[in-house]
Amino acid sequence: MATPAPATENPDQYRLPTDVKPTHYDVVIKTDLEASTFQGFVKASFDVVKETSSITLNTTALELGKVTVYSDALKSHQTPTDRSFESTQERASFQLATPLPAGSKGDIKIYFTGELTGSMMGYYKSSWEDEGKTKSYALTQFEPTAARRAFPCWDEPLLKATFGVTMISREGTTNLSNMPAISEELLGPNSDVSEDVRELAASSKPEEKWKITKFENTPPMSTYIVAVANGDFKFLETSVKMPLSGKTVPLRIYTTPDVIHQAQFALDVKAAALPLYEKIFNVEYPLPKLDTLVAHDFDAGAMENWGLITGRTSVFLLDPERADQQSKKRVATVQSHEVAHMWFGNITTMEWWNYLYLNEGFATLMGEVIIPDKQVVLSYQKWRVDSEFISDHLHRALGLDAKLSSHPIEVDCPDANHINQIFDALSYSKAASVLRMLSNYVGEDRFLKGVSLYLKKKLFANSKTHDLWEGIGTATGLNITELMENWITKIGFPYLTVTEEANGIRVRQNRFLESGVAEPKDDETIWNIPLFILSAQDGGKFGVDKTAILQERERVFPIDTTKPFKLNAGTVGVYRVLYTPEQLVKIAEEAAKTNSVFGVNDRVGLVYDVLALSKAGLAPLSSALTVVDKLKDEPEYLVWDGIADSISGLVSIWWENTQVVDQLNAFRRALFTPIVDRLGYEFNESDSRDVKLLRKLAITQAAGGKEPRVVDELKSRFDHFAKTGDDSKIPADLQQIIFSTAVKYGGQAEYDAIHRAHDKPKTPMQKIAAMIAFGNAQEPELIKRTFDAIAKGRDQDIMYYFAGLAANFKTRRLLVEYFRDHYTELTKRFEGNFTMQYLVRYSMDFLSTPKDLQSTEDFFKDKDTSKYNQSLNQTLDTIRAKVAYIERSTKDLEEWLGEWERRQ
């Protein structure tokens, strides 16, 4: 787990020695796609900080050849007398006969060879189908610690340097890197290249032609955002004029030839976002171009390599004719998020990975809320990015942070081997939520001004938390460090208990845990909490008090309690609010009114709060369901999304109690079928985004609740597709639920039809819909086919199979069994990348009995869980919370559902 290093342990043992500091790398890489190999050399220039007779840097998975070290003070080259490797920290050390003097300069030149594997780390290969033939291309994924797999380097974010990249590749392929190419030529007898390069390019077969591409030098940057790629790529292009520099920056998006027609929307978003960022941050974009490369095999979602963004097909491609709302939003927010990194992370970079949130929290808030809200290319679609943030990020973050096994946003992570684990909802979503709260508290304009000051002070440099607070503090005149310290450095978040007094309300803060009331040892933090109190002001008008702040355990705030009031107006605070049952009824009744003083954000937050508080045993589940029932005439999609998430969540928790599941499904049908009847199944151009999303949600929930009319309609639409191959009756927004319903209620014919769609998908989303749908199979032989497909699927896609199987009550226990039986091969297959932590969660977090908890703990007792123990501990906490919830609330739930049925 990414926990603080024990006091006896020296964190410096995980960091490279600081006796030399790199200043510039010349990297030459020859890519041979036919042989699946690469080779080259790196010449790294450095400053000698203190006298040393050894040089230590990072390298792994490479075979190192000749090494020479030059010293300008000694005016001589020397070959190391010895070399040693340390595999755990992935380092090589080279011993020198003559020490390098302090204050001097030098360089080290290392030859290397490597294999292009499908590992999705370092320099690796990806594949695609071209007219029945499998073709390959190569690209890099270095974050967090895989640059060392492509060339030996000082692979730590603080050790910035400039990079000059030269690529050697077969004629007819395209070479890409962070910077534009300054020259490209076929290697011939008169080519002006060094002997080293000529030697590398020399081929054993005279008929083979190789070309050499030399790229401009980069600005100072960290190794993890260096990128190269080689293959058969096509591109779309445009350009933008930048508002500060006045420069015209060319923008391209590269894909393999088969999918280039689906890349235009991502390019449009990038063209809209880049100038906006420059204007808002008041800091020039420093590179001469910005490309995007779309990859068929990719471990993360996308990656912000400076000048060459990379990512999955599902986050960058969109069929312009049949794009669903979810795909549009994903492409827009991911592209915008990655462009935000060109400033946050690339110009200004965290000193070490414990400040990862400075990169990811900011890119999430800027890329998914602030910038899309100002973007012309998106605003015409009337996206409610701030409201959607509540379910996409705030609720997700609070769900993870409500566990004892959570971690602070700023997490001590000395050992680079554990960094992958902190790329989670806390570094992204909680960090973004805390920054959103701060922005609302100080005002967005002053917040962004402070951000601009922070970036300007740390141009091409590294930063830590205090630097950001200093910038926002300067812009606001407030002590931001004091205000924000506990939100960043402490684990967890609070809930507020609100009670009425004679002249106002008493507000008390305690730590929120999903498993129940926190013990005193886990409830020591006092947060500085902006309360955002919405209440009747003098004169009777409603307003929000943004100055009210709780900085102690409890305090009284004077407000008018005779009229509706609510804390956390706009749901911008990172906390839950617990009202008395009487207050909650009043708030729910006000929320249900047509012209309620509580806006959509308030109503969304209310739904999530009441369910979360009941799960923690702080309020009865029945009172939460009563609030949901009162909102049954709610017009807004986002509130319904919160309701759907909550009800389907209860179905998933009580999955082995058939009576409760049947009654909850009846409640689901009663809530959602009337919406289906009202909105129908057809998606029209004239429909607003919210109407499209509500239609999809209602149909999905009604089908999940087994509404016969809805199930029959979906089956008939699929039947037409299965017989004719014509998918015109399957709207893009309903593709997932139609595919899943077809498999769930069908047999081999339906499964085979889905398989055909999977093998030749029209879009990335169609393939994902198929993989998730396979998991819905009910017949034993079809279930077996789904499990067998896991071994054959692309590594990046395995989680979709697991997600489908985890959602199917019939296959849940089989999935646990599969994970345990195949544990050894799964850990080997996904060693080193992000996938394993997801598989642990998907395979087990639906378990909900004491016996399951014990058997899960027993299974992992003798396993090396160091690469995913955070995910495992969170999964165990999830199971514990479900066990407690079922024990605590089953009787209350059964009584409420029985009473609801009688009322029907």
Where b means 16+ CB within 10 Å and e means fewer, 410-432 reads bbbbbbbbbbbbbbbbbbbbbbb
Residues in the chain: 904
Which phi-psi region, left, alpha or beta, contains residue 580 (left: φ > 0; alpha: ψ -120 to 50)? beta
Cα distances (Å, whole numbers) of residue 34 to 115, 137, 138, 294: 12, 10, 11, 21
H/E run at residue 386:
helix 385-389
50 Cβ contact partners less than 8 Å away, ≥ 6 residues apart: 18, 19, 102
Which residue type is seen at 622? S
68 Cβ contact partners less than 8 Å away, ≥ 6 residues apart: 77, 78, 79, 108, 109
The count of other CB atoms within 10 Å of the CB of residue 818 is 19
Closest among 333, 387, 384 to 363, alpha carbons compared: 333
The count of other CB atoms within 10 Å of the CB of residue 232 is 15
Identify whether the C-beta of residue 405 lies closer than 8 Å to the C-beta of residue 870.
Answer: yes
DSSP secondary structure string, 734-747?
GHHHHHHHHHHH--
Tell me how far apart the alpha carbons of residues 241 and 285 are, in angstroms, rounded to a whole number.
11
Closest among 329, 292, 328, 326 to 312, alpha carbons compared: 292
Tell me how far apart the alpha carbons of residues 477 and 16 are, in angstroms, rounded to a whole number.
39
819 burial type by CB count under 10 A (0-12 exposed, 13-18 middle, 19+ buried): middle
Closest among 756, 806, 834, 839 to 312, alpha carbons compared: 834
H/E run at residue 41:
strand 37-48
Identify whether the C-beta of residue 42 lies closer than 8 Å to the C-beta of residue 109.
Answer: yes
Find residue 31's DSSP bridge partners: 38
Tell me how far apart the alpha carbons of residues 870 and 867 are, in angstroms, rounded to a whole number.
8
H/E run at residue 720:
helix 708-724
788 Cβ contact partners less than 8 Å away, ≥ 6 residues apart: none
Q: Look at strands 302-303 and 290-295 and give their pairing.
A: unpaired
| Two structure tokens written together for 462 | 């590294």
338 is an active site residue: yes
Segment 232-236 long-range contacts (CB within 8 Å, at least 24 positions apart): 232/135, 232/137, 232/172, 232/173, 232/174, 232/256, 232/257, 233/137, 233/174, 233/176, 233/293, 234/260, 235/260, 235/291, 236/260, 236/263, 236/264, 236/267
Tell me how far apart the alpha carbons of residues 280 and 283 are, in angstroms, rounded to a whole number.
8
Within 13 Å of residue 753, how many CA atoms lie on the same side as its CB?
Answer: 23
Cα distances (Å, whole numbers) of residue 776 to 555, 658, 806, 848: 52, 18, 9, 21
Closest among 490, 466, 23 to 217, alpha carbons compared: 23
783 burial type by CB count under 10 A (0-12 exposed, 13-18 middle, 19+ buried): buried
Residue 151 has φ and ψ, to the nearest 5°, of: -160, 145
| Two structure tokens written together for 248 | 């015209």
| Choice among 143, 278, 338, 636 that is catalytic | 338
Residue 725 has φ and ψ, to the nearest 5°, of: 80, 0
Tell me how far apart the alpha carbons of residues 147 and 161 are, in angstroms, rounded to a whole number.
13
Q: Which residues are catalytic?
A: 338
